[in-house]
Amino acid sequence: MTPAILTRGLTKRFGSLTAVDSVDLEVQPGDVYGFLGPNGSGKTTTVRMLLGLVLPTSGIVEVLGSPIPRGARRVLHRVGALVESPAAYGHLGARANLALMDAAGPGGSRRTRRRRIDEALEQVGLAGVGRRPVKAYSLGMRQRLGLAATLIRRPELLILDEPTNGLDPRGIHEIRDLLLRLNAEGTTIFLSSHLLAEVEQLCKRVGVVDRGRLVLQDSLTTLRAPTGRVVLRTPDPEWAVSLLDGSLRDRAGDRLWVSATDAAALNARLVGHGIRVSELAAERRSLEDVVLEATGAGSDRVELDPAGAAEVLDSTSAGPAAAPEPLARRRPLPSPPDAGPAVEPAGAPGPAPAGGPPGSPVRDGVPDREEAP
């Protein structure tokens, strides 16, 4: 079976910086694949190379069996992609923006365009958005519109970078259900996200990158397999400790970690000795534990250097810093010309009301979800 996504030795350098270093990805058809890693680890650069937006320094990329970027025109109309923040023409409404996107490139039938746009807006919760221009949308509405743009061609493969950015908890739940439904219908999903709890509920396989290298790639079931320990809580911890002394691995108050592979047998043993058990479960690592163990700190963290400076800058080529110009020699900034009051074009909508119906998620006075009347 041809992989939906395949990379071999994928590398990207920006001057002396290696952003992506020999990454070997493999995403099978029907997968929901989580692509994880700290900030600055090379996730977005990798996603851009999958779509032909950034050319690799070396290595190969294949998407739906075609080499990228050479074969991009043959397959990209079968791929829906959302990379970082979605872009749209602010003066146009949702349907006009989606119509322009659908008309760009092959694969978008003009005959079915209106129906496909209406279906996509319905799927993401923007069916009742009307002609409101995108510049009046909240962050959550813009994100929903970006997701709708990925769905208008009914893609075989979705490549999504932080798809739930800006959505409230209900919106995140709706998009999760939508992605699971699309996957059940046969769509392969490649998802990059920092929301590990969402990835745990969505993904079947995950890959973890750190400092440009793929440090982990496996099924979520394997990564979260039992550790060989059982966590139990008992109102009789001292009795339990004396009984389990040889297999006790850790203790925190009335919670005990015991080396055991059969939780049911351990429970029967404790109860047989009159020890009450209020909680008992096989220990499994969370996805957060897996990712933190496999990765280091992200590039957005800046530590103090030994000399006490907040950040160390490379000044080998910059020379000594110039002294600030004395106040008396500084020229005053020119005053901007008076442009007069801003004039809205005829027919432009007024400001959105501050607030919304009870229970509706509102950001800047605009609900994220628009239902059809």
Predicted local distance difference test score (pLDDT) of residue 294: 87
Which residues form the domain of 170? 5-223
User: Do 90 and 171 sit in the same domain of this protein?
Assistant: yes
CA distances in angstroms from 273 to 32, 230, 244, 245, 249, listed in the order given: 46, 18, 11, 14, 20
Regions of the chain with pLDDT less than 50? 309-330, 338-366
Give domain status of residue 345, yes or no. no
Predicted local distance difference test score (pLDDT) of residue 331: 52
Q: Which of the listed residues 196, 223, 250 is the one where a domain comes to its end?
A: 223
User: Do 188 and 123 sit in the same domain of this protein?
Assistant: yes
Give domain status of residue 333, yes or no. no
CA 367/CA 359 separation, integer angstroms: 10
- The CATH number of residue 276's host domain is 3.30.70
User: Do 250 and 209 sit in the same domain of this protein?
Assistant: no
The DSSP code sequence of 215-255 is: EEEEEHHHHT-EEEEEEEE-S-HHHHHHHSTTTEEEEETTE
For the chain, the domain total comes to 2
User: Do 196 and 267 sit in the same domain of this protein?
Assistant: no
- The CATH number of residue 78's host domain is 3.40.50.300
Predicted local distance difference test score (pLDDT) of residue 317: 42
Predicted local distance difference test score (pLDDT) of residue 322: 47
Predicted local distance difference test score (pLDDT) of residue 145: 94
Q: Kind of pairing, strands 5-14 and 26-27?
A: antiparallel
Predicted local distance difference test score (pLDDT) of residue 319: 45
User: Do 268 and 119 sit in the same domain of this protein?
Assistant: no
In this prediction the pTM is 0.75
CA 98/CA 129 separation, integer angstroms: 13
